[in-house]
Amino acid sequence: MKPAMMLAALAMLVASIPQAFALDYPVIGGNLIENGSFEDGPLGPVPAGEVPPGWWREAYSANGQLAIVADAAPGEGTQCVRMTATSDDSTGLHGPLIEIDATQAYVQCGWIRMDGAADRSGLNLGRQWFGAEGESVEQPSSRSYTYVVSGANPGAQWRYYEQLLLPDPTPDDGASRADEIPAMARALRVWALNYRWNGAGYFDGLGLYRVDYAAMARPAIVEALEAAHIDEAATELRETLAALPEDTEGAGRARALLAELDALRARALAEAERPVLEWMADQDRTPALIEELQDARWEMKIRALLRAAG
């Protein structure tokens, strides 16, 4: 990515959360789940063996127990999916494979409701992890599938569930927790299931977002980058340089300062893109860089150059 594009992307970090969405985390990009709100496609029963647009396969029996109905979670349009099951005939949806980066952070979320109060439900929202060859990620002490919520019990009102997924910090111990991304995972399939429960469940607003963990953990670096006005300084310097004869001492100093500013900006951008586990492990590097960004000498050097040129 070009520096200017990366800067634009950084500027968007702060205001990147969709307003209608209840997400608690800064995210990069949009929803990785296609038609997670079930607004694409017609209202009515989903024919046996078929799935709503964007989804891969009906789970379990494929007996046509799915329907798109006129109801929606807050801020999630006008449609949702209803899953009607019995105690021995489960149903649900599997999503297509979605590529992920196991060194980054994600959030999986969704809204669920039932027809009324119940002691328990079979409503589950989760995912299954897959490796580079499309194989299910199995570990000696944990399964390849984990849940945002299992046996959800929201009652008749829509309830929002979300789970922050972080890289497994102990990839060699043969297990990953439910909220950890197995180190060998390269893709996931979202699951929304009504498993062996005699009743109807409703799902809407299913989301999977890349979380900007760097922005979450170190918002100061973005602020320092903005506060340093590096772009404005570089623009001023370039204008100065354009007005100077190429072989003067002033031009040489302006070029050197420009190179220094570019290098500093590149370091700051690289810092903001670091893998999550590195962020967690290294507490000292970023504050040092922020100090450098905040160093007032940039402005003094530029002013001196401009005075000398003027």
Which residues does 113 contact at the CB level (< 8 Å), separation at least 6? 73, 154, 155, 156, 157, 158, 159, 201, 202
CA angle 294, 296, 298 (to 5 degrees): 95
Q: Which stretch binds Ca ion (CB under 5 A): 91-99, 174-182, 206-214, 244-252?
A: 174-182
Cα 142 to Cα 98, 148, 174, 233: the distances in Å are 21, 16, 7, 53
- The token pair that represents 148 in the structure block: 């945002």
Residue type, 190: V
How many chain residues are in contact with Ca ion, going by CB under 5 A?
11
- For residue 146, give the nearest of 104, 182, 112, 115 by alpha carbon: 182
Near Ca ion in 101-160, by CB under 5 A: none
The 3-state DSSP class for residue 260 equals: helix
**Smallest separation (angstroms) from Ca ion to the CB of 167:** 10
**Smallest separation (angstroms) from Ca ion to the CB of 62:** 23
**Smallest separation (angstroms) from Ca ion to the CB of 171:** 6
Asked if 77 interacts with Ca ion (CB under 5 A), we say yes
**Smallest separation (angstroms) from Ca ion to the CB of 150:** 20
Which of 7, 26, 28, 37 contacts Ca ion by CB under 5 A?
37
Asked if 173 interacts with Ca ion (CB under 5 A), we say yes
- The token pair that represents 257 in the structure block: 């300062």
Give helix 3-13 / helix 249-272 axis angle, nearest 10°.
50
The 3-state DSSP class for residue 84 equals: strand
Instruction: Using the minimum distance from each CB to Ca ion, give the nearer residue, 38 or 147.
Output: 38
**Smallest separation (angstroms) from Ca ion to the CB of 195:** 22
- Interatomic CA distance for residues 101 and 122, integer angstroms: 30
Near Ca ion in 185-224, by CB under 5 A: 204
Q: Which stretch binds Ca ion (CB under 5 A): 8-16, 148-156, 168-176, 241-249?
A: 168-176
Q: Which stretch binds Ca ion (CB under 5 A): 19-27, 50-58, 152-160, 161-169?
A: 161-169
Task: Identify whether the C-beta of residue 95 lies closer than 8 Å to the C-beta of residue 31.
Answer: no
Which of 87, 136, 170, 235 contacts Ca ion by CB under 5 A?
170
- For residue 11, give the nearest of 231, 291, 191, 289 by alpha carbon: 231
- Interatomic CA distance for residues 222 and 224, integer angstroms: 5
**Smallest separation (angstroms) from Ca ion to the CB of 212:** 24
Instruction: Using the minimum distance from each CB to Ca ion, give the nearer residue, 80 or 268.
Output: 80
**Smallest separation (angstroms) from Ca ion to the CB of 186:** 17
Instruction: Using the minimum distance from each CB to Ca ion, give the nearer residue, 9 or 183.
Output: 183
Hey, CA dihedral for 250, 256, 259, 263, is it positive or negative?
A: negative
Instruction: Using the minimum distance from each CB to Ca ion, give the nearer residue, 21 or 38.
Output: 38
Near Ca ion in 213-272, by CB under 5 A: none
**Smallest separation (angstroms) from Ca ion to the CB of 182:** 8
Tell me how far apart the terminal alpha carbons of the chain are, to the nearest angstrom.
35
Instruction: Using the minimum distance from each CB to Ca ion, give the nearer residue, 58 or 204.
Output: 204
Binding residues (CB under 5 A) for Ca ion: these are: 37-38, 72, 76-77, 79, 168, 170, 173, 176, 204
